[in-house]
Each structure stands twice: as structure tokens, then as C-alpha cells.
Amino acid sequence: MKLEAAAAEPTVFQTKNRSGGTTGKLSPRAEPCQVASDGESAAKYLFKLSQDVILSLDRSGNILCINQRGVQLSGYSESELHDANLFELLLLPEDRQVAREVLADLLQGKARTYEVRWRTRDGAIVHFDGASVPRVSNTGEFLSTLCTLRDATERKCAEERLRKSEEKYRDLIEISPDAIYVVDAIGICVLGNRAGAQLAGIPQDKLVGAPLADTYLPEERHMFRERLEKLKTGGTLRFERKFVRKNGETVPVDVSVSAIRGGYFQAILRDISERKKAEALLTAEKRILEM
């Protein structure tokens, strides 16, 4: 059973106004078949105006009908799309297997959600979030699919930019000589670099999930919570503290903590042991000279 696309010209329904006369009201473009009910008319109107792609496929993936949004995004004409195989004409080769699995589930009467990509006539890639249901007869016989595809290209591109930005960030912090930790709102480490693992005295893969508060002296842990709370409004805090390593050894560190995107915090710690030793020597020399 093939579903045919809307005809070229709109039809006019006669409706009564308050004075009892009739007024012309534009309907969706007329279908070859008669409109059976107001519900069907509304559905066809939504089919035409939807900003999502709406299409129907037969059991082989051939396009039975497609709305104007689908025609627009594909770059092909409606006549070129009608009866064309969606898999061969529009789907990226690497997405065809997933699409076939979706179609197989639909043939078994199962609804599916999925992601898929089209390569349009001009070579552009369009990402979609898809949802499909089977259309079946009263006897349960498969008739066609009904698919809605929402353009997710902008979101996917933003996600890709974010992924690349995160990769660049990871690369930059990994080569830093300073210990760098990224913690969540309650101070659990979600990312740490090699220098951070060395400072903490644990393997780098053990940093994720570790509470940064454990690197504070017990009597100073309240300061950690207070600092995170203060940073929730933004800004940067700089201070010195004693860092408690896994083996219990303490290391003096200079700390810079700032709020970053997504409700996370970045802490940069620099071992200042040598500086503290030099300061202690200078203080001792000064005392000797003053004697």
C-alpha cells in the first residue's frame, strides 16, 4: 500500500461563521483520495507543515511518501525521492546496517528510536534523531513504516566541537608540570594529569573517583568545602596548604582553584617544597646574623 504525497493545489472547505454565512478556509493540499474525517485532515496538515522529516517506507526501504521538510533537506525533488530506496540514495554507507536492523524490528511490529545520517544531494551530512513505528492492517499484516526524523546536525556539530575541545584540554593538562585536578560539585576527582598522580602518590587511573578532600589535613577539610562553596559564584582562589599524599607524607603546595564550565572546578597545584626550604634557610641565616 503506497501513501501518496499531497497534491499541488490547496482545497477550500466551507465553514459557517457566526452570522450563519459561509467562509472559505484553506485546508492542507488535497490528497488524491477523499478526506475521511477532520482528524485525517489535521494529520495531513501536520505532515505538510512539520519541521521534522516525516516519511513512510515499504518493507525494502523504498520511499512511499515524504513531506516537504524531507524534500528540502535531501536536496532531491519529490519525484526523485518517490519510490527511491532510502538506504541507497541518502543513508551513509556506515549507517545502513543500523537502519536495516531498525527496519527488521519494524517488520516484527516493534517501534524503534535511533540515530542516522543522510548525505544530501550536494554532499552535506545531516544528522537525525529518528523514531519509527510500523503500520499494520487489521489482521496484523505489515503495511509500511511511519518515520519521523528530527534534524540534530547543529547539536551533533556542537558535541563534536566540545569533544575536540576536551581532547585539546586533556592534552594540554597532561604535559603540564603542575598537578591538575578537575573535581565535581562535591569535590570528587573526574580528571587528573600525570603530575597530579605523582603528587598524590597513586596510579593515574585511580585519580578518577577519589575525593580531593582526602588530600587535606583532617583539621583543614572544612576549608575545602568552604572554598568550593565560595567558588560556586565564580572567580579564582589562590592559597598555600599542605597536601597529604597516599602514604601520609605532606607536601607544601601553592594552589589555584577556579570554577569552570558545567559546574566543575579546576585545581592547579605546584609543589613548593624547594621554595619553602630556601625560605627556611634564609630565615635561619637572618637569625644568625642578628645574634
Tell me what pLDDT residue 29 has: 38
Q: Which positions ≥6 away from 220 have C-beta within 8 Å? A: 241, 242
Tell me what pLDDT residue 287 has: 78
Q: What is the pLDDT of residues 49-95, one digit of tens each?
A: 799 999 999 999 999 999 999 999 999 999 999 999 999 999 999 99
Name the fold adopted by 163-277. Answer: Beta-Lactamase (3.30.450)
Q: What is the pLDDT of residues 135-148, one digit of tens each?
A: 999 998 999 999 99
Q: What is the pLDDT of residues 9-21, one digit of tens each?
A: 333 333 344 444 4
* Backbone region of residue 141 per phi and psi (left: phi > 0; alpha: psi in -120 to 50; beta: other values): beta
Tell me what pLDDT residue 39 has: 59
Would you say 57 and 142 are in contact if contact means Cβ atoms under 8 Å apart? no
CATH of domain 10-156: 3.30.450.20
C-alpha cell at position 89: 540514495
Tell me what pLDDT residue 91 has: 98
Task: Provide mean pLDDT across the span 264-281.
Answer: 92
Give CA–CA dist 236/290, Å, rounded. 39
DSSP helix/strand/coil, 216: coil
Domain positions in the chain: 10-156, 163-277
Mean pLDDT of the chain: 86
Domains 10-156 and 163-277 share a fold: yes
Pairing state between β 179-183 and 189-192: antiparallel
Task: Provide mean pLDDT across the span 106-113.
Answer: 96
**289 beta partners:** none
What predicted TM-score, i.e. pTM, was given to this entire model? 0.59
Give CA–CA dist 136/128, Å, rounded. 25
Residue 48: pLDDT band (50, 70, 90) is: confident
Nearest alpha carbon to residue 125 among 159, 91, 102, 86: 91
Tell me what pLDDT residue 280 has: 79
DSSP helix/strand/coil, 171: helix
C-alpha cell at position 140: 496484523
Listed in order, strand segments (DSSP E) in the chain are 10-16, 22-29, 53-57, 63-66, 112-119, 125-136, 142-151, 179-183, 189-192, 236-244, 250-260, 264-271
